[in-house]
């Protein structure tokens, strides 16, 4: 499958709110569009969508995933998501290549940082394969309660 980076639109944001992951991955389900708007999540704010977010579409223009790159002072905080029915199909390698290329283009020579829930071994394995290094494990409060996270880093140098 070919994934193409495109503008992250309001329609894409609304679609992501309908994605439903199964089992333990359900923790990644977004609330409804009305709730994320009321709570002012980043996907609902046009300026953040245009500046920080990118859509991944297939060659038929179907939304397959998204990337969020937040420019922090010392690093880029990366967030990614794949459509539930595409998870576990080896697209993580393609997704990570796109993320690293986009960071080189927009934020050259800057550290890329991510947080992943500790249970998500599938994602951790993907990130390690892409060259990310495990830096620390910690507990953090979330809207769904306290959970354990892993911080990983990748040095984005040409």
pLDDT greater than 90 at residue 143: no
Q: Give residue-wise pLDDT tens across range 58-113.
A: 999 999 999 999 999 899 999 999 999 999 888 999 999 999 999 999 998 899 99
- Residue 56 in contact with residue 5, Cβ under 8 Å? yes
pTM metric for this prediction: 0.91
Phi, psi of 108 (to 5 degrees): -60, 145
Contact status, residue 5 vs residue 68, Cβ threshold 8 Å: no
Residue 73: per-residue pLDDT:
87
Q: Which domains does the chain have, with CATH numbers?
A: 4-155 (3.40.630.30)
Predicted confidence band of residue 158 (pLDDT cuts 50, 70, 90): low
Residue 14 confidence (pLDDT) above 80: yes
């Amino acid at each position: 499958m070919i994934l193409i980076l495109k503008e992250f639109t309001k329609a894409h944001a609304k679609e992501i709110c309908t994605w439903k992951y199964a089992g333990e991955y359900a923790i990644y389900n977004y609330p409804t569009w009305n709730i994320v708007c009321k709570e002012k999540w980043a996907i609902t704010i046009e300026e953040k969508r245009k500046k920080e977010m990118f859509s991944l579409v297939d060659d038929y223009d179907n939304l397959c995933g998204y990337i969020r790159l937040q420019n922090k002072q010392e690093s880029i905080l990366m967030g990614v998501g794949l459509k539930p029915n595409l998870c576990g199909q080896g697209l993580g390698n393609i997704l990570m290549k796109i993320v690293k290329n986009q960071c080189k283009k927009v934020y050259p020579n800057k550290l890329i940082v991510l947080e992943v829930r500790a249970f998500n071994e599938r994602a951790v394995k993907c990130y390690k394969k892409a060259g990310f290094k495990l830096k620390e494990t910690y507990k953090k409060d979330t809207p769904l309660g306290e959970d354990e996270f892993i911080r990983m880093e990748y040095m984005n140098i040409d």
